[in-house]
Amino acid sequence: MPTRASVTFLVLVLAMAGWGMWYGWRERTRRSAVAVPAPPAVPDDLGALLLGPLDGTYVSTTRSGDWLDRVSAHDLGVRSAAQVEVHTGGVLLRRQGAQDVLVPGDRLRAVGTAPGMAGKFVGGEGLVVLTWSAGDDASGDLGAQSAAVLLDTGVRLRRKADRVRLLESVRTLLADQEGAA
């Protein structure tokens, strides 16, 4: 096969592979948008600052329990540098180059650590994972579809000591929410 034909064939294969990846990501985003409600907007007042800002990396948000099923809709699949803040109203992830993510305190279900999730594997227990319920109704009645959607949001903090502080702070927030209920 002449060189020119080989190069042309290779370029076509690479172009088709690129198009296939783009199309697959677009379809994943479309399916995610239907299955997962948009996270709440960040209000002006989140309450008192309990901890932060802590420097880290927003890894991704996945469906709870399936850490390879990245949610690409609503800008939740974009890995980015972030600062984590814990307020009495919830956990705020201020991201660079992507929408901020608010995990309201009343929707938090658990916090823990993990060795990795879609987009990042660090070994040990290097990621802090927030498990929360997605939905759009502030009254607490999340509706039949939304009530079943639990998400895991992973954050890799820059300093190990910050990981312990974040876990303790979010656990305190969870205990306060349980006590108020």
The answer to whether residue 36 scores a pLDDT higher than 70 is yes
pLDDT tens profile 49-99: 999 899 999 998 988 888 877 888 888 888 999 999 999 999 999 999 889
Residue pair 13/5 in contact (Cβ under 8 Å)? The answer is no
What is the Cα–Cα distance from 164 to 92, expressed in whole angstroms? 17
Domain 49-180, CATH number (from 1.10.510.10, 3.40.50.300, 2.30.29.30, 3.20.20.10): 2.30.29.30
Better-scored residue on pLDDT, 25 or 173:
173
Q: How many CB atoms lie within 10 A of CB 157?
A: 21
Q: Where are the domains of the chain?
A: 49-180
Confidence of residue 148 (pLDDT cuts 50, 70, 90): low
Output the pLDDT for position 134. 84
Q: What is the pLDDT of residue 168?
A: 94
pLDDT in tens, 95-131: 998 899 999 998 999 999 999 887 778 878 889 999 9
pTM of the model: 0.76
